[in-house]
Amino acid sequence: MKKVIIVTPHPDDETLGCGGAILRHKKEGDQVCWLIVTKMGDEFELSRRTKRNEEIEQVKEMYGFDEVFQLNFDAGTLDFIPLGNIINEISQCFNRFQPNIVYLPYRSDIHSDHKIVFDATVACTKWFRYPFVNKVLVYETLSESDFTINPDSNHFRPNVFVDIAPYLEKKIEIMKVYESELSEHPFPRSVKAIKSLAYLRGAAAGYEAAEAFMLLKERL
């Protein structure tokens, strides 16, 4: 049994980036933890914040997460929070759960929150401080990883492919919980776009459908 942690800047990143992999880990008997770094700020209406909390609870149940950490940093002001504060909070979660496998967002995603979460999480994967971490994988997020226009970025270059064909429909079902995040194609977060990316990644690996990751390090 492995212990897996999914680090997400916002709810829905877990499903877009590695929903199929999460379902596969659970099917294989692994323990899976969900770490949500930010929350909706007070600039959003209470009804919308309440709805988001309900969505998180529903998604938690649908995946069967063994543990969920919510750090509750304000998404709108994450850029202004000292990185050391974010690292400290993530570190506490890591030491409590002691994951063997870490999934985190791609550093060159267009949303600055993803970059910050990447930097803070990577600081918590040093072998001499977190010896339980054996593998670090980066996931791609529709409308984040593919929308980067930084000319200095090498863009997302996957080297690990996970067969999610048996879990694709369940991934879509879970994504539909986030009603405000989905829209009709060609909106990038549409059912058609999610399935298309899965089929494209599957074609690269010889699967009907797949999720793709970048392996940053692995200790065997």
In tens, the pLDDT along 59-77 reads: 999 999 999 999 999 988 9
> Which residue matches tokens 């079902």?
173
| Beta bridge mates, 139 | 105, 213
In a domain, 49, yes or no: yes
Nearest-angstrom CA–CA distance, 2 and 8: 19
> Which residue matches tokens 């909070």?
89
The pLDDT of residue 154 is above 80: no
In a domain, 181, yes or no: no
Q: The dihedral of CA 116, 119, 125, 128: what is its sign? A: negative
| pLDDT of the residue at 116 | 97
The pLDDT of residue 100 is above 90: yes
In tens, the pLDDT along 109-145 reads: 888 899 999 999 999 999 999 999 999 999 999 888 7
In a domain, 162, yes or no: no
What is residue 40's three-state secondary structure? Answer: coil
In a domain, 71, yes or no: yes
CATH of the domain at 88: 3.40.50.10320
The pLDDT of residue 24 is above 90: yes
Residue 152 exposure: Cα atoms within 13 Å on the Cβ side: 1
In a domain, 183, yes or no: no
The pLDDT of residue 152 is above 80: no
Tokens of 98: 């002691």
Query: Which ranges of the chain does DSSP label H, i.e. alpha helix?
Result: 13-27, 46-63, 83-97, 112-122, 168-175, 191-205
Determine contact, residues 161/201, Cβ cutoff 8 Å: yes
Mean pLDDT of the chain, nearest integer: 94
For every residue of 107-168, DSSP letters joined together read TT-SSHHHHHHHHHHHTT--TTT-TT--EEEEE--TTTTTT---TT-------EEEE-GGGH
In a domain, 29, yes or no: yes
| pLDDT of the residue at 215 | 98
Q: Which domain holds residue 59?
A: 3-156+211-218
Nearest-angstrom CA–CA distance, 219 and 136: 9
In a domain, 182, yes or no: no
Q: Domain total for the chain?
A: 1
> Which residue matches tokens 């494209």?
200
In a domain, 195, yes or no: no
